[in-house]
Amino acid sequence: MKVVQTIHELRKEVERMKKEGLTIGFVPTMGFLHEGHLTLIERAKLENDQVVLSIFVNPLQFGPNEDFETYPRDLKRDEKLAAEKGVNLIFAPSVKEMYPHELSVSVHVKKRVNVLCGRKREGHFDGVATVLTKLFHLIEPNRAYFGMKDAQQVAVVDGLIKDFHFPIELVPVETVREEDGLAKSSRNVRLLPEERKEARHLYQSLILAKELIECGERNPETIIKKMEAYLKEHVRGKIDYIEIYSYPELLPIHTLKGTFIIALAVRFQNARLIDNITMVI
């Protein structure tokens, strides 16, 4: 496994892979790898000749009161885990390397962003789309792997790839969970012990919604109200949202049909957790 930190070095490695006719699976991350990331790597390893992993905490996707400075970082640990999973190349640039000067052009996402987490994180997905445009251009992967834990991000990336005609296959990968159902996340380490016990109920509320739908319920508002009541009974964290939309369009629906997403966010003392499921009727 090779680790590069400059765009020049990255381009040299990608050029070599292309000349050898190797397919590239790309896994973009902000590091502090957990089992969710490792599952993406495993999938990429199965479906491609080479796996390129990016580790970059992107400042453009953090708001002024968000956790950019305190976001967990441990490159040596990440390198070890990546090597064990068979990553071929890590691109771990500095902020200065990725943004050597103020951008004269950036990407603005117009759809699929004014709901769920995007509603309260103005500019967040612009930052995601801008850095991914850079990375897609530099790495030119055949496939790019994203976890469905952040299903809104997957929807935005879907739009980015289609609108800009990137010759990339988007591969969404199901959320990896702890034994009690909690979605794996770098931010889980910030939960207090009692919060960690309560956090499993986020997924349980989604299971409740799934069971209601399987029993014939088709009214989104009814499902949301029952999920809210369940969470208020079992979790002391503050509910940010519980929402249901078509997927990946993320448009309001009044009666459940087609493909849709049920998503939620709960804010604990030191961590804000998100989770979701998608269903098809």
String of DSSP letters for 134-156: HHHHHH--SEEEEEGGGHHHHHH
What are 108-158's pLDDT values in tens digits?
A: 999 999 999 999 888 999 999 999 999 999 999 999 999 999 999 999 999
Please tell me the distance from the alpha carbon of residue 20 to that of residue 244, in angstroms, as a whole number: 46
Let me know whether 253 and 141 are in one domain: no
Co-location of 109 and 143 in the same domain:
yes
Q: What is the dihedral of CA 236, 237, 243, 248, to 10 degrees?
A: -140
| Average pLDDT, integer, range 191-212 | 97
Position 177 scores a pLDDT of 93
What domain range includes position 241?
A: 186-276
How many CB atoms neighbour CB 120 within 10 A?
A: 12
Share of the chain above pLDDT 90, in %: 91
Average pLDDT taken over every residue of the chain: 96
Number of domain units in the chain = 2
Residue 181 lies in a domain: no
Q: Residue 101 annotated as binding?
A: no
pTM above 0.95, yes or no: no
Do residue 53 and residue 159 come from a single domain?
Answer: yes
pLDDT at position 203:
98
Distance between CA 106 and CA 59 in Å, rounded? 14
pLDDT digit string (tens) for 92-105? 999 999 999 999 99
- Block residue for tokens 């289609």: 162
Identify whether 234 is a catalytic site residue: no
Is residue 57 in some structural domain?
yes
Q: Which of 173, 208, 226 is the last residue of a domain?
A: 173
pLDDT in tens, 30-68: 998 988 899 999 999 999 999 999 999 999 999 887 878
pLDDT of residue 243: 98
Q: How far is CA 258 from CA 175, 246, 261, 278, in A?
A: 21, 8, 10, 10
The reply to whether 54 sits in an annotated binding site is no
Query: Does residue 209 contact residue 191 with C-beta atoms inside 8 Å?
Result: no
104 is in an annotated binding site: no
Q: Say if residue 197 is in the same domain as residue 110.
A: no
Catalytic residue among 37, 101, 124, 201: 37
CA distance 26 to 48: 9
Same-domain status, 11 and 113:
yes
Q: Is the dihedral of CA 148, 153, 155, 161 positive or negative?
A: negative
